[in-house]
């Protein structure tokens, strides 16, 4: 890659996996600066295998801190923005932080990127910006119709990103991926929540009747997708990233319980989340046109993830998971 990349939110789930992937490419001239404010969702222990790599450095700081961001943007070629508040449930109980980090923080990054002529700005967005779809799949040109304060803040950020392209000619890229799973995901999120609750014999809360459908992607596949868009994407464009592993939440819970040899009596149906999108599904022709394909099979990736959590209790046992 031969570039100095400012990665924001790199102490979180996808960001840490992305940095690991880029460093594994063994390009001696690649440098990564990870800017992360270390919210509850971050964990520096997720980065310990590459923390001493000379091509990597960490800075604790907030993407809303314009002076700090400006200093870092002056000195980098590309910016990849993962930093965000990401838990939908929290966006319902306390939306302010989502607006601040996801919307204003993205703007702080864009302003400095423009000022210092950063040559690529990749905004990591989500398929949740499209809202729910009963049948078919969303393509990149579909209308954004977010339902939760989380997805609305991500859609807001995207609009500002594209406005910087239209108005100032900023070379921006956007990825919209489906639900990720894999190592180092906070146990507040569905798949690690199921595994960690089942491991402790705790009840697993399932919204409504568990029929809501999600399209799951192994985090490494998404990270390779983000890398592909960063290297080959066309400025000013958005790219959906998904692996076509569509399952109801209930069937994901049952699959994991079966793999772990735990009883279905651990399932506990709870009142639905307000504004809960029923189904997400994205068309991924465009990113496949850049040469990307998902590699992981859902079943094997899920086995791997279950084993990872069971073998790495040190990583998750002190973390809370909502309910």
Ligand X SMILES: NC(=O)c1ccc[n+]([C@@H]2O[C@H](COP(=O)([O-])OP(=O)(O)OC[C@H]3O[C@@H](n4cnc5c(N)ncnc54)[C@H](O)[C@@H]3O)[C@@H](O)[C@H]2O)c1
Query: Using an 8 Å Cβ cutoff, are 215 and 281 in contact?
Result: yes
Q: Write down the least CB distance from residue 83 to ligand X, Å.
A: 4
Which one of 150, 164, 239, 280 is the catalytic residue?
150
How many residues touch ligand X (CB under 6 A)? Answer: 30
- Contact pick of 15, 182, 183, 192 for ligand X (by CB under 6 A): 15
* The one segment of 38-46, 70-78, 248-256, 293-301 that binds ligand X by CB under 6 A: 38-46
Q: What angle do CA 158, 144, 218 make, to 5 degrees?
A: 75
CB-CB neighbours of 232 under 10 Å: 14
φ, ψ (nearest 5 deg) of residue 81:
-100, 100
- Contact pick of 34, 37, 106, 147 for ligand X (by CB under 6 A): 37
Which residues, numbered 114-143, are part of the site for ligand X (CB under 6 A)?
124, 126
φ, ψ (nearest 5 deg) of residue 194:
-60, -50
* The one segment of 8-16, 165-173, 281-289, 293-301 that binds ligand X by CB under 6 A: 8-16
> What x-and-dash track marks residues 78-107 binding ligand X by CB under 6 A?
----xxxxx--------------x---x--
Q: Is 150 a catalytic residue?
A: yes
Q: Write down the least CB distance from residue 153 to ligand X, Å.
A: 9
Q: Write down the least CB distance from residue 265 to ligand X, Å.
A: 28
Please give the Cα distance from 91 to 87 (Å, whole number): 7
CB-nearer residue toward ligand X: 101 or 147:
101
Q: Where are the beta strands (DSSP E) in the chain?
A: 4-8, 31-36, 56-60, 78-81, 120-126, 172-177, 179-181, 204-207, 213-218, 237-241, 245-248, 267-270
Tokens describing residue 287: 């990113």
Distances (CA, A) of 43 to 48, 106, 195, 306: 10, 21, 19, 19
Tokens describing residue 90: 């929290």
Q: Is 313 a catalytic residue?
A: no
Cβ within 8 Å of residue 87, ≥6 positions away:
41, 150, 186, 188, 189, 322
Q: Write down the least CB distance from residue 320 to ligand X, Å.
A: 14
- Contact pick of 63, 161, 170, 174 for ligand X (by CB under 6 A): 63
With residue 295 as reference, give the H or E element that holds it.
none
Query: Using an 8 Å Cβ cutoff, are 80 and 34 in contact?
Result: no
CB-nearer residue toward ligand X: 118 or 190:
190
* The one segment of 36-44, 114-122, 251-259, 281-289 that binds ligand X by CB under 6 A: 36-44
- Contact pick of 5, 7, 14, 194 for ligand X (by CB under 6 A): 14
Q: Write down the least CB distance from residue 203 to ligand X, Å.
A: 23
Q: Can you tell me whether residue 4 is helix, strand or coil? A: strand
CB-nearer residue toward ligand X: 41 or 170:
41
φ, ψ (nearest 5 deg) of residue 149:
-55, -35
Q: Write down the least CB distance from residue 222 to ligand X, Å.
A: 7
Tokens describing residue 6: 């400012």
- Contact pick of 3, 4, 39, 248 for ligand X (by CB under 6 A): 39
Which one of 36, 62, 85, 128 is the catalytic residue?
128
Which residues, numbered 163-222, are part of the site for ligand X (CB under 6 A)?
177, 179-180, 186
> What are the residues binding ligand X (CB under 6 A)?
8-9, 11-15, 36-39, 41-42, 62-64, 82-86, 101, 105, 124, 126, 154, 177, 179-180, 186
Q: Which residues participate in catalysis according to the annotation?
A: 127-128, 150
């Amino acid at each position: 890659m031969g570039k100095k990349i400012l990665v924001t939110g790199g102490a979180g789930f996808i960001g840490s996996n992305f940095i690991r992937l880029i460093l594994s490419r063994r390009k001696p001239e690649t440098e990564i600066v990870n800017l992360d404010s270390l919210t509850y969702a971050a964990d520096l222990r997720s980065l310990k295998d590459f923390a001493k790599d000379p091509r990597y450095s960490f800075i604790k700081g907030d993407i809303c801190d314009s002076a700090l961001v400006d200093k870092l943007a002056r000195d980098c070629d590309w910016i990849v923005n993962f930093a965000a508040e990401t838990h939908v449930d929290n966006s319902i109980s306390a939306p302010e932080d989502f607006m601040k980090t996801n919307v204003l923080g993205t703007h702080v990054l864009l302003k400095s990127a423009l000022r210092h002529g950063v040559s690529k700005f990749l905004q990591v967005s989500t398929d949740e910006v499209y809202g729910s779809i009963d049948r078919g799949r969303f393509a990149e040109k579909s209308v954004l119709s977010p339902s939760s304060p989380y997805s609305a803040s991500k859609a807001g950020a995207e609009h500002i990103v594209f406005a910087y392209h239209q108005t100032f000619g900023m070379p921006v890229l956007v990825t919209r991926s489906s639900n990720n799973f894999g190592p180092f995901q906070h146990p507040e999120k569905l798949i690690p929540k199921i595994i960690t609750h089942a491991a402790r014999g705790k009840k697993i809360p399932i919204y409504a009747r568990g029929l809501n459908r999600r399209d799951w992607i192994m985090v490494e596949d998404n990270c390779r997708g983000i890398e592909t868009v960063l290297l080959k994407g066309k400025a000013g464009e958005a790219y959906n990233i998904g692996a076509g592993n569509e399952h109801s939440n209930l069937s994901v819970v049952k699959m994991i319980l079966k793999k772990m040899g735990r009883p279905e009596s651990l399932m506990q149906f709870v009142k639905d989340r307000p504004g809960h999108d029923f189904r997400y599904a994205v068309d991924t022709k465009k990113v496949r046109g850049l040469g990307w394909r998902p590699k992981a099979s859902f079943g094997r990736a899920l086995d791997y993830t279950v084993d990872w959590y069971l073998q790495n209790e040190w990583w998750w046992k002190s973390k809370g998971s909502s309910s």
